[in-house]
Chain A
Amino acid sequence: MRRSRNAMTCLRKRTGAWVTAACLVLSLSPAFAAAAPGASAPCGLDQVMALLSQQRHAEAAFDERQYLAVLTRPLVSSGILIYDAPAYLEQRTLHPRRQTMVLDHGTLTLQVGRHRRSVSLAQYPQLAPLIDSMRATLAGDRAALERHFTLQFHGDPGHWQLRLKPRAPQLAARIRDIQIDGARAQITAVRVRQRDGDHSVLLIRPRR
């Protein structure tokens, strides 16, 4: 695991440098320079997407807090995240109770104790983009993200913030926005704000 992460970091550095160089060259060209203020964001987004899409495998620890109006205190949970490019994302909750969610090629499987539920995301078109948003970000799949959300990018590849606003009215009626923070190819936080004021914060840090 350590070896693969080293290899990945190395690969990331090289690609990152290449993309930065490409952006520099582009911004120096006259046409691009004219559009510089508006164009810097997409360029940064593309850079981050390129960085993310290079990532084949990742593991991280997470802590989640959900602030729900029906509860007087937040729901707290923690565990690990495992990602395999491009279509496998596992969220293994270890506390307060063991449960596992696996999103694999559009099928969502939830295991609680001996109990296993499996649904196809396609059958939940209203919720699917939300559940799929983290995977699509990890995969650097800008097209998939833009299908369901309008994207706002801030920052630079070293420290970025991506804000997703749902396009579909059905989803927009529930979800105000999703905010994903990251550093290079690492997602550090996912914040989901619902229309009714409920919100959640998922903090991600590399596993030691």
Chain B
Amino acid sequence: MSPPPALRHALPVAIWLLGLVLAGVVVARARYSADLSAFLPRAPSPMQQLLVQQLRDGPASRLILIGIDGQDAAVRARASHALARALRQRGAFSVVANGEADASERDRRFAFVHRYQLSAAVTPARFSVEGLRAAITATMDLMASPAGLLAQSLFRTDPTGETLQVIDQLGSGARPRMLGGVWSSRDGQRALLLAQTRASGADTDAQQRAVQLVRSTFDRICAPGALTLRLSGPGVFAVQARSSIERAALRLSVLSTALIVTLLLIVYRSVPVLLFGLLPVASGALAGVAAVALGFGVVHGITLGFGITLIGESVDYPIYLFVQSRGREYHDVLWPTIGLGALTSICGFASLLPSAFPGLAQLGLYSVTGLVIAAAVTRWVLPRLLPARLAVIDLASLGSAARRALSHLHLPVALACALALVCALVLYQHRHRLWTHDLAALSPVPASSLRLDAQMRAGLGAPDVSNLVMVSAGSEQAALRWAEAAGRALDTLVDSHVIGGYDSPARYLPSQATQAARLGSLPDEASLRARLAAATSGLNIAPGAFEPFLSQVSAARQDGPITRASLRGTSLALALDALLWHQNGQWRALLPLHAASGAAGNIDAASVRAALASLPSAHVVMLNVKQQSDALYAGYLAAALRLSLLGLAAIVLLLAIALRRSLRVLRVIAPLLLAVLVVTAVLALVGVELTILHLIGMLLTVAVGSNYALFFDRSAAQGDLAGLPRTLASLMVANASTVLGFTVLAFSSVPVLSALGMMVAPGTLLALLFAALLAPRSLFAAPAPAPATAGAA
């Protein structure tokens, strides 16, 4: 009934080969990406999701902030003019602004032409006799002022001063400093420009082209070396992060593979053995990528680059096999230990799976799949492929040396407890600074870039978005109407000095209802003429002075409302884009709040919420971004902590089931916990603030280190003193390969990965050391009959 022995022998190999082919097909057809979003958290609440999304592909993400440093202000201003002119000729940008007078002239023209749609002062009362008289008197006062020339030139067409009203409304935000006719930083050392790409901020390829276009244009128009170009903005960050991730992924995977291969060559001294040894890892890696491609639809560059490092542990399996095994022994003795070790590791890596960072979840899936396949290949395929006589160098001498060294060394339990206590004390002392509370700590964007960005933003007078009112609605018009309603509530706060002011998209583009109401409050020509006559009696206005005003008001009455398209070509379009956009079927409007002067930048959130209380929270919400992102981070940390504890519990449970005795479980777990404690304490002492990734690193340390402790446990349980040198040698090689891989990771420029590396590399080294030092001393005594050697040594 049972299949013939030859078939039974060949079946696992055939399944393996078929699996390789299938995985190969999946891998070849998979999509790969290297953008930054994998290491931006997946946000849990819709509101937080909005913040992350706005960062990713909202209109603000299409902005490129350009700075020109060096030389003097005049040279920088000329470069700014030339760069802006050259970039405007290219289709890649919808707006390029640098503060030049031409652009401001266009904005003023827009304000003038559409003054009756835009001016908040246009009400029926404004065009009553009293209203007209008050407005005209105010304009005449302005005309008498030394700067009254603009008011004078508009007096005949716009005696009620709506154009100036609109200019005031639109220009309420902080403006950049002007130097040499162009925008400059506050300190006057840098010319500033703002460019908005046509392409979405999420389209990193297009952003990269835009960034390159800016660079090449700058190089063409400016003498090399004289001026320095500085770029910032979400798109620039995405491009930078992608290239640094790509570089890191390639460099680190090549480096760690080379290091591990070199190590194994040194150990095996045989290319065939090396190739056999790499088979499980290679199969695991292929299966891992295939699993990620199937599970996530897209494979991140990081997963390709670092996954191999994470399953570096599986290089250990054939090491144990080659170095320790003696034929049949492998199946009966070694396999349960390897299997249990692999299972504990899988428990550890599985805790990455539900991670809020898609990149980490990918690594989790990759590692779990990779380890299962590598272990299975080592267990069922590799022994069937190995030639009958495989020349494996005997590492027993290395192991014996280690054994002799260990027989000198001993870590008494009391001392271990003391060490643990000291570390615990250090951690207790640092408990307030132990964890970072800043989401930015996980950002792949370097702190220096973020500083540059903050400087340029401040210089450009970009709204501070730490406090804002967010409006959501089903249509653009509804969003604008709610923004206007919120604005009315905020006006009362401005009047009572609770807040200093606010921006609103409705200032640039009033809702059609509001525009219609404004146009509707313009009287017909005959009534306006009569009211004007009454309003200006005694004001010394020359007869017929207001004929242009009369005809323009009648013309405005025929105008329709302005739309988003009307703003095209003005710098107001930029401002509107940043404050009003459409995403996932929802329209969003942002109203950034400015703190009242004297409030040290603080905003009384409770008062703002109270003022907005009458508006439905489904449409209008106040957000404190810093508070939100802190809450976001605290949520991630709590989730990670929960997952890590679950992973630890799973590992302990697994060990308890396999080992059955609590003392043995304790012996396996104690060195791992001690290793984690020591590394964490040292990191705290040198001032590294721990992030979620350090926490995950701790779990990985426990997962990987458990393999080592298990081998000591096996040797002790079986009293296998003769086999110990080989066990020691294989553990050392296995540990060296893991430490190498994670050390490479520790030097990555991606904070998420360096955090993992700096925890796991020293952690696993210490785990092996502590496991050896805490193992029963009898284990390292020289095998009989030479007790004298051990005593003398």
User: Do A and B interact with each other, yes or no?
Assistant: yes
Q: Contact between B147 and A110 (Cβ–Cβ < 8 Å)? A: yes
Name the contact of B145 in the complex, choosing from A99, A120, A122, A130 (C-beta under 8 A).
A99
> Which residue of chain B has the shortest Cβ distance to A99 in the bound complex?
B145
Please choose the segment from B273-281, B474-482, B539-547, B652-660 that sits at the chain A interface, where 4 or more of its residues have CB less than 8 A away: B539-547
Q: Contact between A66 and B143 (Cβ–Cβ < 8 Å)? A: yes
B181 at the interface (CB under 8 A from A): yes
B146 at the interface (CB under 8 A from A): yes
Most buried by B among A71, A93, A110: A71
Q: Contact between B540 and A122 (Cβ–Cβ < 8 Å)? A: no
Smallest CB–CB gap between A169 and chain B, Å? 15
Contact with A along B103-129 (1 / 0, CB 8 A): 010000000000000000000000000
Which chain B positions have C-beta within 8 A of A69?
Answer: 542, 545
Q: Mostly helix, strand, loop or mixed at chain B's interface?
A: mixed
Most buried by A among B143, B144, B148, B150: B144
Contact with B along A55-78 (1 / 0, CB 8 A): 000000000101011111101110
Size category, B interface: 20 to 34
Q: Contact between B141 and A106 (Cβ–Cβ < 8 Å)? A: no
Smallest CB–CB gap between A16 and chain B, Å? 29
A131 at the interface (CB under 8 A from B): yes
Most buried by B among A69, A118, A122: A122
Q: Contact between A93 and B144 (Cβ–Cβ < 8 Å)? A: yes
Which chain A positions have C-beta within 8 A of B164?
Answer: 117
Which chain A positions have C-beta within 8 A of B143?
Answer: 66, 68, 75
Residues 201-221 of B contacting A (Cβ, < 8 Å): none
Which chain B positions have C-beta within 8 A of A130?
Answer: 149
Smallest CB–CB gap between B191 and chain A, Å? 13
Which chain B positions have C-beta within 8 A of A198?
Answer: 152
A97 to B142, CA, bound (A): 9
Q: Contact between A91 and B155 (Cβ–Cβ < 8 Å)? A: no
Q: Contact between B149 and A127 (Cβ–Cβ < 8 Å)? A: yes
Contact with B along A126-167 (1 / 0, CB 8 A): 010011000000000000000000000000000000000000
Which chain B positions have C-beta within 8 A of A122?
Answer: 99, 101, 178, 180-182
A/B pair count, beta carbons within 8 Å = 85
Q: Contact between B540 and A127 (Cβ–Cβ < 8 Å)? A: no
B384 at the interface (CB under 8 A from A): no
Smallest CB–CB gap between A82 and chain B, Å? 13
Smallest CB–CB gap between A28 and chain B, Å? 40
A108 at the interface (CB under 8 A from B): yes
Smallest CB–CB gap between B571 and chain A, Å? 11
Name the contact of A73 in the complex, choosing from B99, B175, B181, B540 (C-beta under 8 A).
B540
A69 to B153, CA, bound (A): 11
Which chain B positions have C-beta within 8 A of A96?
Answer: 141, 144
Residues 129-151 of B contacting A (Cβ, < 8 Å): 140-150
**Given A72-B540, A122-B181, A123-B99: A97 in contact with B141 (beta carbons within 8 A):** yes
> Which residue of chain B has the shortest Cβ distance to A118 in the bound complex?
B175
Contact with A along B519-542 (1 / 0, CB 8 A): 000000000000000000000111
Which chain A positions have C-beta within 8 A of B147?
Answer: 101, 108, 110, 131
> Which residue of chain A has the shortest Cβ distance to B77 in the bound complex?
A122
Which chain A positions have C-beta within 8 A of B177?
Answer: 120
Smallest CB–CB gap between A151 and chain B, Å? 22
Q: Contact between B542 and A112 (Cβ–Cβ < 8 Å)? A: no
Which chain B positions have C-beta within 8 A of A127?
Answer: 149-150
Which chain A positions have C-beta within 8 A of B329?
Answer: none
> Which residue of chain B has the shortest Cβ distance to A71 in the bound complex?
B540
A125 at the interface (CB under 8 A from B): yes
B186 at the interface (CB under 8 A from A): no
Residues 147-185 of B contacting A (Cβ, < 8 Å): 147-150, 152-153, 155-156, 164, 168, 175, 177-178, 180-182
Q: Contact between A101 and B146 (Cβ–Cβ < 8 Å)? A: yes
A75 to B168, CA, bound (A): 24
Most buried by A among B104, B150, B155, B180: B104
> Which residue of chain A has the shortest Cβ distance to B104 in the bound complex?
A123
A6 to B178, CA, bound (A): 37
Q: Contact between A70 and B99 (Cβ–Cβ < 8 Å)? A: no
Name the contact of A75 in the complex, choosing from B101, B144, B149, B180 (C-beta under 8 A).
B144
> Which residue of chain A has the shortest Cβ distance to B107 in the bound complex?
A123
Which chain B positions have C-beta within 8 A of A125?
Answer: 101, 181
A-B contact pairs, 9 of them (CB 8 A): A66-B148, A68-B152, A71-B541, A72-B540, A76-B144, A96-B141, A118-B175, A120-B175, A122-B178
- Besides A70-B545, A97-B144, A122-B178, 11 other A-B contacts (C-beta < 8 A): A66-B144, A68-B155, A93-B146, A99-B145, A110-B147, A120-B177, A120-B178, A122-B181, A122-B182, A123-B99, A131-B147
Which residues of A are interface residues toward B (Cβ below 8 A)? 64, 66, 68-73, 75-77, 91, 93, 96-97, 99, 101, 106-108, 110, 112, 115, 117-118, 120-125, 127, 130-131, 174, 198
Q: Give 6 closest A-B pairs by Cβ, nearest first.
A: A120-B178, A70-B545, A123-B104, A73-B540, A72-B540, A122-B181
